[in-house]
Each structure stands twice: as C-alpha cells, then as structure tokens.
Amino acid sequence: MNTKSIVVLLLLALFSLRAYAAENRYEEVRFARGTSSTTIRSSVTGYDTVNYTVDAMAGQNMTVSLQSNINANYFNIYAPGKGPGGEAMFIGEIKGNRYSGKLPATGRYTIQVYLMRSVARRNVRANFTLNVAVSGRGGSAMAPATGAGVEWPRQYDASGDVVCSAHDGGGKLRCDFRVKRSRFGRGEATIWLRKPASGGAIRVLYFNNGRFTTDEDIPVRQQKFNDTWRVSVGENEMYFIPDALIYGG
C-alpha cells in the first residue's frame, strides 16, 4: 500500500472517530412557576448537538426562536415519538430560526440545536440564545391561543408604555410594554404589550427582518411613519411602536 493510500485511510479513520465522539446531550426545558416561556443561553461546538425536550399538549401553541453569533447555527423540532435521525416537523436550515405553531400531538417534543456540516467540520463554537414558549390550552389541535395565559417576562431590556387603540372608536390609549432585544444588534426583538381594553391580556409581537408577527393565526399589518411603526393586529388592536423601542437608544 502506497503512502497516499495510508494517509487517506488515516484521515477517514480520524473523521469517523471524531463523528463518533460528537456529544449529543439532552436537557429538559423547565418553565419557572407562573410562566410559560424561558430563555436558554448555551453553546455548541463542531458536530456536537444539544437536544432540548419539552412536554406539551395537542392544540397548545409553541414558539421557538434562536439567536447565535454563527449564521450556520440552526435548530430542528421533532414531534413526540420521533427524534434526531428521524423525520423533523421543522427544519431550521430550510425555514429559518423561528418557529411558531399549534402542536399536533400530546407528548415530548425535541428541539435539536446544531451547526451545519460546512462549519461543524472546522470545529467552530457557536454561542446561542434559545427562547422557548408554550401557551394556550391543550386538548384540541384547533384550540385557540388567545394570549390570556401569557405572562410578563422576568428578563427584559426596557419597559414603558406606547400609544395604542382598541379600534372601537375610544380614541388613543396607553399600553404597557416590555421588550427583549437581540444580543447581536440585528434589529430583532420580542415585545410584550398589554392589549388595549382587554382586561389585562398580553399580546406578544416579534420583530425580525423589518416585519412584525404574532403567535396567533390572525393578520398583522404594519406601516411606518418616520421613526414609528403603526402595527394592527386583527381588527381590534393597534400599536404605535417607535424604532427606539426596537433598537434601543
């Protein structure tokens, strides 16, 4: 056997050992008493993966978002009874780093955080922040997530109030807010707002790539005037959100 063949075999053996030694750790997602969301800060290196498990019921709404200092850092979600190596219900490399939807089954879901192969093979380390929230009543795949069970976040970057309206001809109101901004300066933010004339229910808005979204399956319309966004959610909510709330300053 020539020297070149020996080198190739050694490289293949080294790659196989490295892949075999990859760490695939599992951690259970826990929500603090009285809350329905949590923020996890961790890291993943090379071919290692972190698998977060969370128990939820059919019909509940789950939202998962990932922020990382590495663009090739993604997550997949697996339905109960399935896991890494099987069919994923959400694939981050294809759909991006945010998932929100009603859950199809009751059981244990797995959120797998990983690096793409092109980066993993260089043994790069990614520092990430994973946000996981489960809300709404379970028991039916069509159960609505109205936001009535959403709590104020325990950790946030700023709070105050914004101009809002209930679309009922009652004029302008003031709605309390809390905001959690991206740690990496990408103009991403999660905003909790007291719904106008709602008796205390909380609306959660997500700002990413210049667009606002929410957890519920209702239309969100937006229009910008100078440095302020007018955001309409459904037919009964309107919020006026300044850039300073999203970006800070």
Residue 46 belongs to domain with CATH number? 2.60.120.380
For 157, residues 6+ apart whose C-beta sits below 8 A from its C-beta are 179, 180, 181, 248
Whether residue 120 is found in the same domain as residue 163: no
238 domain-assigned: yes
Strand 158-165 relative to strand 237-242, pairing:
antiparallel
Q: What are phi and psi of 79, to 5 degrees?
A: -75, 165
Give domain status of residue 6, yes or no: no
- Give the domain-ending residue among 97, 120, 135: 135
Same domain assignment for residues 165 and 129: no
Query: What pairs with residue 178 in β-bridges?
Result: 159, 192
Rounded to whole angstroms, the Cα distance separating 70 from 186 reads: 13
Residue 13 lies in a domain: no
Q: How many independent structural domains does the chain possess?
A: 2
Label residues 50-64 b or e (16+ Cβ within 10 Å = b). Answer: bbbebebbbbbbbbb
The pLDDT of residue 141 is 34
Q: What is the pTM of this model?
A: 0.51
Q: Which of 71, 102, 135 is the last residue of a domain?
A: 135
SS3 per residue for 130-175: EEEEEECCCCCCCCCCCCCCCCCCCCCCEEEEEEEECCCCCCCEEE
What range does the domain containing 168 cover? 158-247
C-alpha to C-alpha distance for 187 and 150, rounded to whole angstroms:
24
Whether 220 contacts 235, CB under 8 Å: no
pLDDT tens, residue order, the chain (249 aa): 555 554 444 444 444 444 434 668 889 888 877 778 899 999 999 999 999 999 888 888 999 999 999 999 999 999 988 888 888 999 998 888 999 988 988 888 999 999 999 899 999 999 999 999 998 765 433 333 344 457 788 778 899 999 999 865 455 789 999 998 876 556 788 899 988 876 678 888 988 888 998 877 788 999 999 999 999 998 889 999 999 999 887
Residue 43 in any domain: the answer is yes
